Structure formats: structure tokens, C-alpha cells
Amino acid sequence: MPFQQSIRLNEAQRGIFIALGANRPYRRHTPFENLQHALQLLSEREVSVLSCSRPWRTPAWPDPSQPPFLNAVAQIAWEGEDPTALMQILHEVETACGRVRSVRNAPRTLDLDLIDFKTRVRAPKTGNDLALPHPRVNDRAFVLLPLREIAPHWRCPVSGDFIDTLISRLSWTDRKDCRPAGGVLHAATHRLKRGAT
């Protein structure tokens, strides 16, 4: 799978990583197709998708009776230096894929989270402010397991802990409930078109 590439240590430490999730169809698109479409829309907005994990299936939380989520993590390249501006792009892509913000943890057609922006640490000044890294990244198997696929040397910018250490702290239930779902996500990025490895 040429699109899923392991990231070297230095790249993992200066990269930008986003998490993707979906558990509702949009129009005639399945959640898998929503994730695929999101990668394409990012590419059209001058956000290059450098590598992407496989999709992983996770029970919905906190209500497991809702449809399960498909989750993935991608490393991206973007010329800007303002993570808030990047979040605006992510929100535009969510909207284009049918995301309607309602109650917290509701089913959604697409959820895009900024996990790590070049190892920056940023505390939110208000409740709606962007925090970096994502404040719950260390507790989420559905982020850490796909992230390890493409960035096995990633370290938490706050604690300095390697990703394997963070995964080992997750509960056994969280780890076993997060499983590869099958399929491969692709994006038509400039880097991939040139055949870069």
C-alpha cells in the first residue's frame, strides 16, 4: 500500500497530523466514502495529504447503540503557520461533507480534528479556543492506533512520551474495540502524483 508509509523520526516530530471520523452516510456516500471525499477536498484546498492510515472501526461513544465509527489519521503538509486558519479549512471540509453541529458526541457524517501541529503546545484561552496538541489525543485508541501506523516514532509534545507508551496506558477494552476495518484510503496529492516514496 504505497499511500500508507511509515514516517521517519524527524518527520514525525515536525509534522501536522489530523484525525478523521465518520459514522453517518451523507447523501449516497457511506462513512468510508465520506473519509475518502474529505481527503480529496483537503487536496483541493492546498492541503497535501502525505500519508494516511487504514480505516479503523470503533464503537460509538458514549452510546454504543449508535452506528460504529470509521476512523483514520493522516499526515498533511500545509504552507500556513496559523493552526487556527487550518482548523477553518477542516471545518469547511466537514461542512462540505454534510456535517451539522448539534449535541456533543452526536452521530456525524465527518469529524476532522487537528491532533498535532508541528509539535506546538497551545493552551486555550477560552472554551472554544484551539488547544494543541488535541487535549484528548492520549486517551483515544481510535487516534493512537491509526497514528502509530503512519508515525511509529511520534511523541506527545506535552509529556514527551512515545506513542507505544501512550497506547500501553489505554485500557484493554479500548484497544481491542478499535480494529482495522478493511480498505485503503487514497488522496490525489501532488506528492503522490509525482511518485514520491
Half-sphere exposure of 22 (CA within 13 A, CB side): 27
Angle, CA 72 vertex, CA 51 and CA 106 arms, to 5° = 150
Phi/psi for 168 (5° steps) reads -65, -20
Look-up: residue for cell 514527551?
A: 160
Distance CA 97, CA 87 (A): 15
User: Which residue, 92, 91, 89, 98, is CA-closest to 29?
Assistant: 98
Phi/psi for 122 (5° steps) reads -145, 120
Contact 132, 32 (CB under 8 A): no
Catalytic residue ranges:
99, 108, 111, 113
